[in-house]
Structure 1
Amino acid sequence: MTRWVLSHRLPVVLVWVVLTLAGGALSGSTIDKLSYESRLPDKQSQAANDALAQRFAQTGGKNAPLLLVVTAPKGTTVDSEGVRKQWGALIAKVTPKGGRSVSYADPGGESLVSQDKRTTVALVYPPANRSNVPYEQSLPGIKAVVEHTKIAGAPVELTGQPVLSGRDSGATRSPIYETLIGALGALIVLALVFASGLAIVPLLMAMVAIPTTFLLVRGITGITDVSFIVQFLVALIGLGIAIDYALLIVTRWREERQKPGSDGADPEARREAVVRAVASAGHAVALSGATVAISLAALVVLPVPFLRSVGYAGLLIPLVSVAIAVTLLPVMLYAWGDNLDRPRRAHRPDSKLWGRIAGVTTRRPALCAVLSGAVLLGLAAPVLALRLGQPATVTLAQGGKPAAAFQRIVDAGFGEGIARPLEVVVPAGGGDALHTQLAGLDGVAGSAAPADWARGGQRIIDVWTTADPSSSAGRSTVTEVMDVAQDTPGTLAGGGPATDVDFIDAVYGSLGLILIFVALLTFVVLARTLRSVVLPIKALILNALSTCAAYGVVVLVWQKGYGSEALFDTPAIGAVTIWIPMAVFAFLFGLSMDYEVFILHRIRETHLELTARGERDTVVPSVVTGISRTGRLVTSAALILFLAFTALASIPITDVKVFATALAAGIVIDATVVRGLLTPALVTLLGRSNWWFPRSLGRLLVTSPGQAPGPRTHPADDDAAGYGGQEVAPDAAAFATQADPQSRA
C-alpha cells in the first residue's frame, strides 16, 4: 500500500489539501450547526419536557428556575396584605413575556412561605433559548430589577442553579484558543524528541486531521443532532491522536533510515526506508486506531442521541488520523523527510533510561507487579464512592450573595430540591387531587400548582425534594414521584431530576452488555494481530484497572474536592455528571490501549527476530528491547495527549473540565504505572505463556474462509506444552528479513 501511495504522491497530497481547505473554510458554520439539545427518546421525562416546550413556550423542563428570596426584618412577616401586593407586583414585573412564575401570592403557591412567615421564595421560569446559557436574554434585565427592589425594607436576592453554576456568564467560545495552546505544548515536546525540523511533521498532520474531521462532522449534522461538546473533542483529542500516530511512524522511519544501505541520497533506499517504517509502525497505528474506534462504538449503540453523536465524532478522530498517517505522512517523509531532519544527528532507538527501568522490572518482576498493582488499586479505590448526578446545589454555592441567599432558603426549611423541582404535567381536571397526593409523599419538601399554569387541557405541578435530587435520598423521592405519575392516567413527570433518573437508566441500563461487546471485539482484534490469547486478556484487565484509577482521581478531585480549587479555581461539585463516566470509558479505554499496542507490537517484533535466530530465551530480551525502544515514544506521546487534555480542561464548562481531568489522569497513570512498570513485569512473569495461541483459535481468527492455515508466527517448543505445535521459523525468518534487508546476508 505504501509503495502505491509513493507512486501516486501528487493525487494523495491534492486530496488531503482539498479536504483540509474545505474543512477549514466550513468549520465556523459546522460549529453553528452543533446542538445543545440532549434528548431521551421513549422516556417519560422527555415526553413531559416536550409537552412543556410545546404548550409553555420553552419554559421549565430540564432548565431549572430562577429563585427570588426575601427575608423580612424581625418583627415583620411576609404574609401581610401590603407585602403580598408588593411581592406579587415584583414577580409579575420580573417574569418575561411568555415566561411563568409562582409565589405565595398566587393560589397554589402556599408552600412558598417559611414556617416563621419571615422568608418567602418565588420560582421564575423565563423563556429559554437552545444554548448552553438558556436564560441569556432574560437574566440581565431580571438582575437589574431585583437589585433596585426592597420588600418591607429588606433586599430581594436572586439565586438558583442557573446563577450559582455560572451558566449566566455568556456563550461558550470556540476551541481555537485552547487548540493553539495544546499545539504549542506539543511542538515543545516534539522539538525535544527530534531536535530537528522533523518536530513540525506530526503537527502538520494534526493540522490536516482536525479540519478534515470537522468536514465529516458537518456531514453528520445533516443526518442527526451533534452535541456542541464535539467541537472540543475534535479539536483537542484530534490534535493529540493525530500527533501521536505521526510521532510513532516518524520515529520508526528515523530508525529505519539509519540502518546500513538506507542512504538518503538514493531514491530507492529512501523509498524502502519509508515502506519498512509504515509496514511496521503503520500496522501498530492501524491497530491502535481500530481499538479506539471499537471502544467508541460503546457510545454509538447507546439510545441517547447526545452520546451517540459524541461516539460518531469520536470514531472519526482515529480513523482520519490513521488514514493521514499511512497515506500523507509517507509522502512527506519520502519527499522532505531528509531535508527536515536538520541538524542530522546519530539517532539511538534505545533509551538508556527506559532500558534501565526495563532491566530492573525484568529482574524483580513479582515485586514490581505487586507495588505497581497496589498503586493502581489505591488510585481506583475511591471509585467505590462514585455518585452519578448533577452537581448538588449546595456544592455550587461557594461564596457570594447568590450562595448566601440559597443557604438562607435551605435554612428556612424549603429543602435543597427547590433549586431543581420536578415538573409534573397532568390533565387540568385532576390536578388538585394529584397535587395533594404528591405533597404528602415522604421526602417531598413542597409543591406548587398555580391556576395559571394550565394550557391546552394540561396543568403543571412543581414538586421539590427535601434532599438534593442528586443524593441517594433525593433520587429515591424523585423515583417515587415518577412512579406515582406513571400510575396516573395522562400524567408525566419531567424536569431536571426526572431527566437524570431516565438518563442513568438509558446509559447504564445495558452497561454489562456494552462492556462485553467492547471487550470481545477488542480481544478478537488484538488476538488476531498479536497471535496470542494471553496478551489481549492481560491488556483488557490492565485497561479496566487504568480506567477505574482515572475514575478514582475524578472522585477525589471533583466529588470530594481534593484539588478542584487549587487546580481549576472551581469548587467541588459533589457528584460526577451522569454522561462523563461512559464517555471517559469510551475514549480512555481506546486511547490507553494505544500504548499497550505500541509496546506489545515492538516486543513481538523483537521476539520474532530472536526466534528466527534460534534463541530460546526470548522473553526478557524482548521485553527490555521493547520497553527501551518504546518507553521514550510512549512517554512523549502521553505527554502530548496530557497537554491536549490540559488545554481541554481550560474550557469554561465544568462538565468539560471533569471530562478532561479523567482523560488526563488516565493517560498519565497508563503511560507510567501501567505500561512502564506493570506491563513489562507481567509479560516477564508470564514467560512463554504470553504466546499461547491454540491452533483452533488461529484457524478461526487468522485464516480467511476457504484459505488453508499458513505457518504460525509464534513460538512453541513442543506440542505437549499446550502451544498448539505452531511452526515458527518460516514466518519469523521472513519477518526478520523484511524488517532488515541486511539479514539476507
Structure 2
Amino acid sequence: MLVPMERLSRFVLRRARAVGLVIAAAVLTGGAALALLLPRVTEANEFPGLPGYEANQRITAEFGTGGEARPVVPVVELSGPADLTAAFAAVSAMGARVAYEEPVFAEGNTRYALVYGGPVQAGGLPGSALGEGTDLAERVRAAMAPHLPSDARLHVTGLDELATGIDGGGVDMAVKLSVTIAAALVVLIRAFRSRLALVPLLTAAVAVPVSFLGLLAASLVVDIHDTTMMMAPLFGVGLAVDYGLLVVSRWREERASGASPLDAVHTAMATAGHAVGFSAAVVAVGLVTMVVLPIPLLRSLGVGGMLVTAASAAVSLTLLPLVLARAGAVKAERRSARWPRWAALIVRHKVAALSVSGALLLGLSAIALTINLHVPRSADLADSGPGREGLTALTDAGVPSGVLTSFDVYVPDAGAVPALVRTLESVPGVHAVVSPDSWRSGDAALLGVLPAAEGEPGLATLDRVREVVPDGVLVGGNITQQEDFLDAAYDAFPWMLAILSVATFLLLARAFRSLVLPLKAILLNLLSLGAVLGATVVLWQWGWGTETLLGIQPDGAVGTFVPITVFAFLFGLSMDYEVFLVSRMREEYDHTGSTREAVVNGLGSTGRLITRAALILFCSFAAMSLGGELDVAVFSSAVAIGILLDATLIRAILVPAAVAVMDRWNWWWPGYSRRRPSRQAKDSVSDSTAARPFSAEPSDGRPITPDSV
C-alpha cells in the first residue's frame, strides 16, 4: 500500500507540467505579493489591553511626551548657588517635558531634572521629533550648555545613555542573507560534490517568495511586524535548504543502490519526505501556538514562522520530485564509520552518556532560573562614558539610581493632585514625587514618581504605587509597560505549553507509532530549552564572551519577549531533528527487531545529515544576530545556540542514550505486538552480536550504504 508521501510524488509526476506551472506562477505572484505586503508592515510595538500601555497611550495623546519613554536625566555640578531656570527652559522650549520648576531637584551643589522627549515645536532643533536615548541626550546637552555658568559641569545620563548596543549599527539584511546562502552553499557542496548541491538552494529560492503570498493573506487579519519580515527570508532559506538536503540525500542513496530515478523519488518521498511532512507540522504547531499570546508582535512572529515553514515543506514536497526525476546517475557518498562507531559507543556506555549529558543540561537549566527579564539595571550597563559619568555625579550627590526608572502617573482631575502627592510620598520605596505646573493639560495632570531603587525593589515600589492610586488614575511609564507585558505573555505561557505539548504528542505518536517516544521527546526537549535559556543567561546576562563573539556589550538582562519566542521556535526546530533521527530508528527497529541496531543504524545513517542540516540553520540565525536591535540579536543568537546544542549534545548523545536505556519500552504501541518483526528475540541493547548494516570498525575505503534512510 502506498504511503501518503509516495502518493503525493506519483500525483506530482503524473501532472508534472501542471504542477510546474503552478509553482512558477506562485513564485511570480510572490514577488508581487511582497510589493503589496511591505506598505502594510508595521514597526509599532503595541500591547493593546495592557494597563500600562493604555496609560502611556493616554499620556502621549494628551501631553505629547513621556509615556513609555525613559527619562533623560541632565546633571549639573556647580561650584556654588546658580539659577538654572534659563537652561531648563531652553530644554522645555524644544518641546520636551521637563521637571525643573522650583524646588529644583537639588543635592548640595548638584542639580538634576527629568526630561521626556516630545514633538519638535517651532524654533526647535532640526528633525521631525525629539527622540529618546542618545539623540535626546545630545539635544538636551546642546540646549542647556549656553545657559550654564562657565565653571559648571554638565552630564546627561539615563538608562538609554547607559545602554550598550551593537557596534557600528549592525549588518543590513542583504549581507545577512548573503552570509546564510554562502554558508548553506559551502555545506551543500561538501555534502554532494556535484550539481545536486544547487537543488536545495533552488527549493529555498522558490519557498521564500511563496511564503510572501501567505504573509500577504495573513496581513488581512493580523498585523505583520517588520521583525517578521526580517526573519522570514533568513528562516525560510535555512529551513527550505534543510528539507531539500534531507530529501535529496535520501534520493541519492537510493539511486546509488541501483534504483531507477522514479523509484528513487518515490522511496525518498515515502521516507525522507514523510519525515519532512511530520517535522514541518511540528515546527508549524510550535510557532502557531504563539497566537494565544495577547501581543501583536509575538503573534506576527508566530504566524510568519508558521507560514514560512508551511511554504518550505510544500515546495520541498512538490518541486523536488519534479527536479530529481530528471536528474542523472549519481555516486554514493563515501562515508566513514565515525557515526556508527560513535553510536555503538553511546549504546555501550548508555548510562554514563545519559547521566553526563543530562547533568550538563540540568546545570544550564539551573542557571536559567536566574534569568532577568526586567528593565536593565544601571549597574549592569556601560561602565564608562558620559552616561556613567553623569550617574556617578548623581549618586555621589546622594541621589539614588532608581530615579532613572521614574514613571508617570496620569491624574484625570488636577484638583486631586495635592492629596495624591502626599499619598504617594508616603509609599515605601518612593524617593520623591513631582508635579510641575507645566505638567497640566485641561483638567488632567501628570505626576512623576521617582523610585529609590532599581531592580526587584523598584518593581515592588511600582506595585505599591499601583495599589494606592484611586480608580481613574493611570500608572504609566516604561517600566510599567514592561511589567504588564511580562504578566500578560507569561500568564498565557502555560496554555501555550499545554496546546503545544498535546499537539506535538499526537503528531509524534502517529509518526513514531509509539506512545513512549513522543513523551520522551517532549520531556527532553523541555530540558534542552531550559539549557538554551541558561546559555543565554551566560552569554547575555553575565556577558561571557559576548563582546568577543558578536561585538556587543550586554546589558545584564534578557529581552522580555526573548524566552517565549525562543521556546516557540526551538521547540519545533528541535523536534525537527527528533523526527529525522527517531523516524530512522523506528524504521531500523521495524527491519531488525533490535533496539541496539535501531540506535546504531539510525544515528549512524542520519548523524552526519542532521549535523549538516543544523549547521545551515545555525548559520541562518547566527547571521540574524549580526546586527539590528539588541533584543533581535539576543533572540537569534539564542536560537542559534539552541540548534547547535540540539544537534550535538541532544541528538548525538542524550537521545540515543535514552533510547538505549529504555530498550523495548520505546516501541510500545497498543496492538503492535501482533505485528512485531520475527527478530524480536534480538531486541536487547546488550546484544553485541546483532547484525547491523553499518560496521563500527574503520572503513576500508568502500562506500558504506545503509539499507534504508
User: Which TM-score applies when normalising by structure 2?
Assistant: 0.88
**What amino acid maps onto 1:179 in structure 2?**
L
Specify the alignment match of 2:691 in structure 1.
none
**What amino acid maps onto 2:340 in structure 1?**
G
Q: Secondary structure at the match of 1:229?
A: helix
**What amino acid maps onto 1:661 in structure 2?**
S
2:55 is the alignment partner of 1:62: no
In the alignment, the residues of structure 2 paired with residue 443 and residue 382 of structure 1 have an alpha-carbon distance, to the nearest angstrom, of: 29
CA RMSD of aligned residues (A): 2.9
Q: Which moved more, 1:427-436 or 1:388-397?
A: 388-397
- Tell me how far 1:166 sits from its aligned partner: 6.3
Q: Secondary structure at the match of 2:263?
A: helix
In the alignment, the residues of structure 1 paired with residue 136 and residue 483 of structure 2 have an alpha-carbon distance, to the nearest angstrom, of: 29
**What amino acid maps onto 2:70 in structure 1?**
A
**What amino acid maps onto 1:198 in structure 2?**
L
**2:646 paired residue among 670, 673, 676:** 670
The change in CA–CA distance for 1:531 and 1:673 in structure 2 (over 3 A counts) is same
Q: Secondary structure at the match of 2:449?
A: strand
1:270-295 residue CA offsets vs partner (Å, 9 max, x unmatched)? 12211110111111011111111121
Specify the alignment match of 1:38 in structure 2.
45
The change in CA–CA distance for 1:135 and 1:224 in structure 2 (over 3 A counts) is farther
2:602 is the alignment partner of 1:626: yes
**2:559 paired residue among 560, 577, 581:** 577
CA contact (8 A) 2:167 2:552 kept: no
CA contact (8 A) 1:389 1:575 kept: yes
1:296-307 alignment runs, 5 A limit: 296-307=287-298
Report the count of equivalent residues: 671
Specify the alignment match of 2:105 in structure 1.
112
Specify the alignment match of 1:452 in structure 2.
438
The change in CA–CA distance for 1:201 and 1:596 in structure 2 (over 3 A counts) is same
CA contact (8 A) 1:175 1:231 kept: no
- Tell me how far 1:496 sits from its aligned partner: 0.9
2:367 is the alignment partner of 1:382: yes
1:376-433 residue CA offsets vs partner (Å, 9 max, x unmatched)? 2222221121121132234233322223223322333333333332211112221222
1:160-217 residue CA offsets vs partner (Å, 9 max, x unmatched)? 2334336899998752221111111111111111111111211121122223223322
**What amino acid maps onto 1:226 in structure 2?**
I
The change in CA–CA distance for 1:111 and 1:153 in structure 2 (over 3 A counts) is closer
The change in CA–CA distance for 1:65 and 1:28 in structure 2 (over 3 A counts) is farther
Q: Secondary structure at the match of 1:127?
A: coil
**1:472 paired residue among 456, 463, 466:** 456
**2:191 paired residue among 175, 190, 193:** 193
Q: Which moved more, 1:179-188 or 1:414-423?
A: 414-423
CA contact (8 A) 2:172 2:627 kept: no
Specify the alignment match of 1:736 in structure 2.
none
2:396 is the alignment partner of 1:405: no
CA contact (8 A) 1:189 1:640 kept: yes
CA contact (8 A) 2:508 2:518 kept: yes
Q: Secondary structure at the match of 1:389?
A: coil
Q: Secondary structure at the match of 1:332?
A: helix
**What amino acid maps onto 1:121 in structure 2?**
A
- Tell me how far 1:492 sits from its aligned partner: 0.8
In the alignment, the residues of structure 2 paired with residue 511 and residue 648 of structure 1 have an alpha-carbon distance, to the nearest angstrom, of: 25
In the alignment, the residues of structure 1 paired with residue 231 and residue 477 of structure 2 have an alpha-carbon distance, to the nearest angstrom, of: 28
Gaps of 5+ in 2: 1-7, 121-126, 684-704
Specify the alignment match of 1:88 in structure 2.
88
The change in CA–CA distance for 1:456 and 1:677 in structure 2 (over 3 A counts) is same
**What amino acid maps onto 1:40 in structure 2?**
F
Q: Which moved more, 1:136-145 or 1:661-670?
A: 136-145
CA contact (8 A) 1:133 1:168 kept: no
CA contact (8 A) 2:70 2:132 kept: no
Specify the alignment match of 1:293 in structure 2.
284
CA contact (8 A) 2:357 2:654 kept: yes
**1:588 paired residue among 546, 570, 576:** 570
1:86-485 alignment runs, 5 A limit: 86-93=86-93, 95-96=94-95, 99-103=96-100, 106-107=101-102, 110=103, 112-114=105-107, 116-127=108-119, 141-142=139-140, 144-145=142-143, 150-165=148-163, 175-260=173-258, 262=259, 269-335=260-326, 337-338=327-328, 344-348=330-334, 351-427=336-412, 428-468=414-454, 471-485=455-469
In the alignment, the residues of structure 1 paired with residue 400 and residue 24 of structure 2 have an alpha-carbon distance, to the nearest angstrom, of: 59
- Tell me how far 1:509 sits from its aligned partner: 1.2
Q: Secondary structure at the match of 2:68?
A: coil
CA contact (8 A) 2:88 2:144 kept: no
Specify the alignment match of 2:698 in structure 1.
none
In the alignment, the residues of structure 2 paired with residue 300 and residue 519 of structure 1 have an alpha-carbon distance, to the nearest angstrom, of: 15
In the alignment, the residues of structure 2 paired with residue 694 and residue 513 of structure 1 have an alpha-carbon distance, to the nearest angstrom, of: 29
In the alignment, the residues of structure 2 paired with residue 330 and residue 630 of structure 1 have an alpha-carbon distance, to the nearest angstrom, of: 21
**1:512 paired residue among 472, 477, 494:** 494
CA contact (8 A) 1:397 1:406 kept: no
Specify the alignment match of 1:541 in structure 2.
523
1:566-599 residue CA offsets vs partner (Å, 9 max, x unmatched)? 2222222212111110000000111011111100
Q: Which moved more, 1:492-501 or 1:48-57?
A: 48-57
- Tell me how far 1:222 sits from its aligned partner: 3.3
1:647-680 residue CA offsets vs partner (Å, 9 max, x unmatched)? 0110231111111221111111111111101111
**What amino acid maps onto 1:477 in structure 2?**
T
User: Which TM-score applies when normalising by structure 1?
Assistant: 0.84
In the alignment, the residues of structure 1 paired with residue 512 and residue 134 of structure 2 have an alpha-carbon distance, to the nearest angstrom, of: 54
In the alignment, the residues of structure 2 paired with residue 429 and residue 13 of structure 1 have an alpha-carbon distance, to the nearest angstrom, of: 72
2:10 is the alignment partner of 1:10: no
CA contact (8 A) 2:171 2:626 kept: no
- Tell me how far 1:127 sits from its aligned partner: 3.1
CA contact (8 A) 2:72 2:136 kept: no
The change in CA–CA distance for 1:33 and 1:410 in structure 2 (over 3 A counts) is farther
Q: Which moved more, 1:216-225 or 1:494-503?
A: 216-225
- Tell me how far 1:50 sits from its aligned partner: 1.7
Q: Secondary structure at the match of 1:156?
A: strand
The change in CA–CA distance for 1:66 and 1:9 in structure 2 (over 3 A counts) is farther
In the alignment, the residues of structure 2 paired with residue 273 and residue 577 of structure 1 have an alpha-carbon distance, to the nearest angstrom, of: 47
In the alignment, the residues of structure 2 paired with residue 462 and residue 170 of structure 1 have an alpha-carbon distance, to the nearest angstrom, of: 35
**2:546 paired residue among 554, 564, 574:** 564
The change in CA–CA distance for 1:366 and 1:296 in structure 2 (over 3 A counts) is same
**What amino acid maps onto 1:162 in structure 2?**
D
The change in CA–CA distance for 1:201 and 1:131 in structure 2 (over 3 A counts) is farther
CA contact (8 A) 1:159 1:405 kept: yes
**What amino acid maps onto 2:201 in structure 1?**
L
Specify the alignment match of 2:472 in structure 1.
490
Q: Which moved more, 1:247-256 or 1:172-181?
A: 172-181
Q: Which moved more, 1:441-450 or 1:124-133?
A: 124-133
1:78-124 residue CA offsets vs partner (Å, 9 max, x unmatched)? xx4xx23333333234x33xx42222xx15xx36222x132323423
The change in CA–CA distance for 1:21 and 1:436 in structure 2 (over 3 A counts) is farther
- Tell me how far 1:315 sits from its aligned partner: 1.0
In the alignment, the residues of structure 2 paired with residue 151 and residue 436 of structure 1 have an alpha-carbon distance, to the nearest angstrom, of: 35
In the alignment, the residues of structure 2 paired with residue 436 and residue 595 of structure 1 have an alpha-carbon distance, to the nearest angstrom, of: 60
Q: Which moved more, 1:209-218 or 1:186-195?
A: 209-218
CA contact (8 A) 1:146 1:157 kept: no
In the alignment, the residues of structure 1 paired with residue 129 and residue 215 of structure 2 have an alpha-carbon distance, to the nearest angstrom, of: 19
The higher relative CO (CA closer than 8 Å, separation ≥ 6) is in 2
Q: Which moved more, 1:652-661 or 1:15-24?
A: 15-24
